[in-house]
Structure 1
Amino acid sequence: MTQPAHLPYGGIPTFARAPLVTPGGDWQADVAALGIPFDIALGFRPGARFAPRALREASLRSVPPFTGLDGVTRLSGVTFADAGDVILPSLEPELARQRISAAAESVRDRCSLPVFLGGDHSVTFPILRAFAGVPDLHVVQLDAHLDFTDTRNDTRFSNSSPFRRACEALPNLVHITTVGLRGLRFDPEAVSAARSRGHTLMPMVDVSSDLPGVLARLPRGKNVYLSVDVDGFDPSVIPGTSSPEPDGLTYAQGMRILAETARHNTIVGLDVVELAPNLDPTGRSELLMARLIMETLCAVDEFGSAQPGWTR
């Protein structure tokens, strides 16, 4: 007799009901989640520290495998693990970055595709240090903001600077494609530095006017790390974020970009950052972002010829 399954509001909320493990434990999985409850590098409203727990709870509504209207079953046989949260010091950011890098490296060693639940966007830099051995690494970033600033308010490690620090530290990080850029304020030096390095900057107006053209400019045949800043989405879709910008991505547009990236590349990692569930009393922000993670994994599964290592 099989054990009855919990309804979404019952049981212990691990990510997608995966077994709870530790980053350095004796386990292997196709997909593993690691929470990074860190938000002291924000420039505006805090709350991203609460996102890993909220995303886990929201993920209980979408536990694989999934059979769609087309009759295709996705994520069948794909194994999951939840590596818990990085234990972070509250006011020691350098020590926090060291622990994030160490935990991310341990999780990478034990799974094919790690999923990082942030946290503000500053955590992407120490996460990316765990990918220093990946050749020809590309990043596809969904974001309203460039996050390539050298310093902000005399701070070099804020959520405005993760990709600047990563490019300085990682010779293997060869290209960044940022989609969804918009807003009134951009750092001219950061824009110039990104363009001089050859990065691809696609503003939201391009997505709105020519989505096929945007999709055609995404990487092909590369090792890609996906970084999803939830403020890349329109605040009418995802209101729970520190620095919302109007006229952003719809859910459908964001998924088209992520699925197209998965179709043509090897996805080596995924993070979701800047989700502040305390700023959305409806709870829909975390529900939609948990769904987006699952749909991205479904896209990776569907185009599995580009994803070595799946045990399915």
Structure 2
Amino acid sequence: MSTPDGWSGRIDLPDVPATRRWHQCVQALQPGSPPGVAVLGFACDEGVRRNHGRVGAAEGPLALRRMLSNLPKLDEALLYDAGTIACVDGDLEGAQARYAEVMAGLLDAGHLPVGLGGGHEIAYASYLGLVKHLGTRRPRVAIVNIDAHFDLRQQDRASSGTPFLQAIEHARSHGLTLDYLVWGISASANTRMLFDTADALGVHYVRDDRLNLLNLARHIVDLRMRLADVDVVYLTIDLDALPHAMAPGVSAPAARGVPLEVLEPLLDEIAATGKLKLLDVAELAPPLDRDQATARVAARLIHRVTAAAWQARGG
């Protein structure tokens, strides 16, 4: 088995399966491959640039592959690398369309896709891929966004600040029931207009200063009840929802953020539903990172969610 580009790392006992790491198991995706966890890169930060943010997220997919490489293989899921879609000459919309096409194919084949961003413009591409996969089916879909920002901006062109408004408008025009849930909203990072837009659209959101260990149990129950009413879940994690000390390598670091001891139980709850169809991680900007801290925590979250989601599938 040849290892796809970007994957390398430590080898302990090459003939002992219990010592294997991701880089020893990942395969280049081939047509007809049995279902597994499939990573798909989105090397794009054009949306961040259009949103007047700090660029660098186009380098995220490679950094994430490198950090995922050394993580232990804890489940029986096959691991695939489906390649990377790059944004060329600022053509964000073209990159999103190509990514959506590949994403739909992964879902059609029964894989659990993991998007490696890239700016948060990856979210609209992931949504379009899910819609293409669903075809004429009309399940109730929930987008769960871990984010300090609503990303509901009304702008002339698509950007990293518009994906969920685009998704909501698309869903409404195509008869798809879509719930948008955001956990980690920062009151100091969203204008009054964005809060008003969220309220008008019926968005459920929880602020970062309400997410702590004292009320974690209540939030888990709330999340469980909301996801009980949906059929399909798409999870997207914007790394700027994490505390700055933990995730400095993003366009807009958090002044407060949601700590891992609160975030991880919420992610566990999402994965345990068995309804998670796809996930992605956005906004890792390696040029802005410090000691690969942001890449490291992103890889940890991917590792945790994929293992739990695959187990919930019965894998």
For the aligned pair, the TM-score class normalised by the smaller chain equals 0.7 to 0.9
Aligned counterpart, 2:153? 149
Using the TM superposition, give the Cα deviation of residue 173 of structure 1 relative to its aligned residue in structure 2, in angstroms. 4.5
Say which of 227, 230, 238 aligns to 1:220: 227
CA contact (8 A) 1:14 1:56 kept: no
1:243 correspondence with 2:283: no
CA contact (8 A) 2:44 2:92 kept: no
CA contact (8 A) 2:22 2:73 kept: no
Question: What is the rounded CA distance, in whole Å, between the counterparts of 1:9 and 1:200 in structure 2?
Answer: 45
Closer/same/farther in 2, CA of residues 272 and 206 from structure 1, 3 Å limit? same
Question: What is the rounded CA distance, in whole Å, between the counterparts of 2:53 and 2:287 in structure 1?
Answer: 14
Question: What is the rounded CA distance, in whole Å, between the counterparts of 2:179 and 2:300 in structure 1?
Answer: 27
Using the TM superposition, give the Cα deviation of residue 38 of structure 1 relative to its aligned residue in structure 2, in angstroms. 0.4
Which consecutive unaligned segments of at least 5 residues does structure 1 have? 1-5, 66-74
Question: What is the rounded CA distance, in whole Å, between the counterparts of 2:97 and 2:168 in structure 1?
Answer: 17
Question: What is the rounded CA distance, in whole Å, between the counterparts of 2:86 and 2:28 in structure 1?
Answer: 15
CA contact (8 A) 2:35 2:109 kept: yes
Closer/same/farther in 2, CA of residues 45 and 234 from structure 1, 3 Å limit? same
Aligned counterpart, 1:200? 204
Aligned counterpart, 2:243? 234
Aligned counterpart, 1:288? 297
Using the TM superposition, give the Cα deviation of residue 29 of structure 1 relative to its aligned residue in structure 2, in angstroms. 2.4
Using the TM superposition, give the Cα deviation of residue 140 of structure 1 relative to its aligned residue in structure 2, in angstroms. 1.0
Aligned counterpart, 1:113? 112
Say which of 13, 26, 36 aligns to 1:18: 26
1:61 correspondence with 2:62: no
CA contact (8 A) 1:15 1:60 kept: yes
Closer/same/farther in 2, CA of residues 7 and 124 from structure 1, 3 Å limit? closer
Aligned counterpart, 2:10? 8
TM-score normalised by structure 1 residue count: 0.84
Deviation track 1:102-148 (CA, whole Å, cap 9, x = no partner) reads 12112222233111001100121021011112610001110011111
Give the length in aligned residue pairs: 284
Aligned counterpart, 1:72? none
Aligned counterpart, 1:40? 46
Question: What is the rounded CA distance, in whole Å, between the counterparts of 2:9 and 2:284 in structure 1?
Answer: 25
Deviation track 1:181-225 (CA, whole Å, cap 9, x = no partner) reads 114242333322222222211001110252222222213333111
Say which of 222, 243, 267 aligns to 2:276: 267
Aligned counterpart, 2:195? 191
TM-score normalised by structure 2 residue count: 0.84
- The one-letter amino acid of 2:184's match is G
Give the alignment's Cα RMSD to 1 decimal.
2.2
Closer/same/farther in 2, CA of residues 274 and 15 from structure 1, 3 Å limit? farther
Q: How does 1:76-95 map to 2 (within 5 A)?
A: 77-95=76-94
| Matched-pair identity in % | 25
CA contact (8 A) 1:17 1:63 kept: no
Question: What is the rounded CA distance, in whole Å, between the counterparts of 1:163 and 1:225 in structure 2?
Answer: 12
Using the TM superposition, give the Cα deviation of residue 252 of structure 1 relative to its aligned residue in structure 2, in angstroms. 2.1
Question: What is the rounded CA distance, in whole Å, between the counterparts of 2:89 and 2:265 in structure 1?
Answer: 37
Deviation track 1:250-276 (CA, whole Å, cap 9, x = no partner) reads 122221111012223510110100011
Using the TM superposition, give the Cα deviation of residue 168 of structure 1 relative to its aligned residue in structure 2, in angstroms. 0.9
CA contact (8 A) 2:248 2:290 kept: no
Give the match's secondary structure for 1:241.
coil
Which consecutive unaligned segments of at least 5 residues does structure 2 have? 1-7, 13-20
- The one-letter amino acid of 2:58's match is R
Deviation track 1:40-74 (CA, whole Å, cap 9, x = no partner) reads 11121111111100110001121312xxxxxxxxx
Closer/same/farther in 2, CA of residues 238 and 15 from structure 1, 3 Å limit? farther
Give the match's secondary structure for 1:29.
coil
Aligned counterpart, 1:175? 179
Closer/same/farther in 2, CA of residues 183 and 195 from structure 1, 3 Å limit? closer
